Amino acid sequence: MRLATWNVNSIRARVDRVADWLERADVDVLAMQETKCSDEQFPTMPFLAAGYDVVHCGFNQWNGVAIASRVGIDDVQVGFDGQPTWSDKPEVEAAAEARALGATCNGVRVWSLYVPNGRFVGSPHYAYKLEWLAALRSTAQQWLTDDPSAQIAMVGDWNIAPTDEDVWSVEAYAGSTHVTEPERSAFDAILDAQFSDVVRPFTPGPAVYTYWDYTQLRFPKNRGMRIDFILGSPALAQRVSHAEIVREERKGKSPSDHAPVLVDLA
C-alpha cells in the first residue's frame, strides 16, 4: 500500500494537480492538510471519478484536513480524544479546529494532522500549539497501550523542524517558531511514545526539505524546512519498504508550498 501526505494549501485551487498526481504516483491513500474550505465546498467529484472515497473536516476557509482512499475508509473520527480548543476572540467560545481527522484504510489507522503554527514565540497560539502536541502525545500513547500491535500512521504538516539540519539556516530562524526547544521537545515526546519518523531513513539530510516559502526564490535556492512527516507505530514502521519526498511536485504552475511525502508498506 502506498500512503502519502500533502499540505495542499487550498484544495479548490489545486484539486486538478492533486488528482493528477494521485494517478501518476499510484497512491492508495492520501492525507491532505490546509484544504482551506468547508465540507460543503470540498471538491469531492474529481476524487470519486479517480476511484477514491474521500472524507473531509473543514469549517471555514482556514485549516482543513482530508483523507482520500481507494482501499476503503472506515471508522472515521473528527478530532482526537482530548484535542484542545482555540478561539482568536474573547467573545467567541473556543472550539476544536479542523486539524485532525482519523480513518482506517486497509487496516492502517491514518491520522491526517495539521499542527497549529504557533505564530510567534510567547503568543497564546504558541502555548496552544504546545498544548495540542502534548494532548496528541498522550492520546497516541494510549492507542499503543490499548493495542501494541496497532498499525498507526500520524501524518501531515507538523509545523516543527525537529533538528538544525531541517532548516536551511539556523540563523534565519533564530527566535522563531518551528525550531524552539519546547516545540522540538514536544515532537521528540511523540517519538518517545514509540512512534518513529519512517521517512528519514530513506531521505537523509541535510538540505532535504518538504516546505519552501513562495517568497525570495526560496525554492530555486533550496532554502526550505522539513516540517511534513509520517510517524509510524512499531507495527507500521516494520512494514515500510520505501519512502520519499516528492520534490518535483513543488515545481510547475501554481504549486503548493509543500511537497508530498510518501511511504510504501510491504
CA atoms of 92 and 85, how far apart (whole Å): 12
Short-list 117, 149, 115, 146, CA closest to 133: 115
Return the number of other C-beta atoms located less than 10 Å from residue 197's C-beta. 18
Binding-site residues, in ranges, read 7, 34, 157, 159, 257-258
CA atoms of 42 and 54, how far apart (whole Å): 10
| Residue 32 phi, psi (nearest 5) | -120, 150
Cell of 76: 472515521
How distant, in Å, are the alpha carbons of 11, 86, 144, 158 from that of 38? 11, 18, 32, 21
CA atoms of 199 and 129, how far apart (whole Å): 23
Binding-site residues for Mg(2+), in ranges, read 7, 34, 157, 159, 257-258
CA atoms of 222 and 220, how far apart (whole Å): 5
Return the number of other C-beta atoms located less than 10 Å from residue 65's C-beta. 28
Q: Which residues are identified as catalytic?
A: 114, 157, 258
- From the number of C-beta atoms within 10 Å of its C-beta (0-12, 13-18, 19+), residue 204 rates as exposed
Cβ-based neighbours of 110, under 8 Å, separated by 6 or more:
3, 29, 31, 67, 69, 102, 103, 104, 153, 155
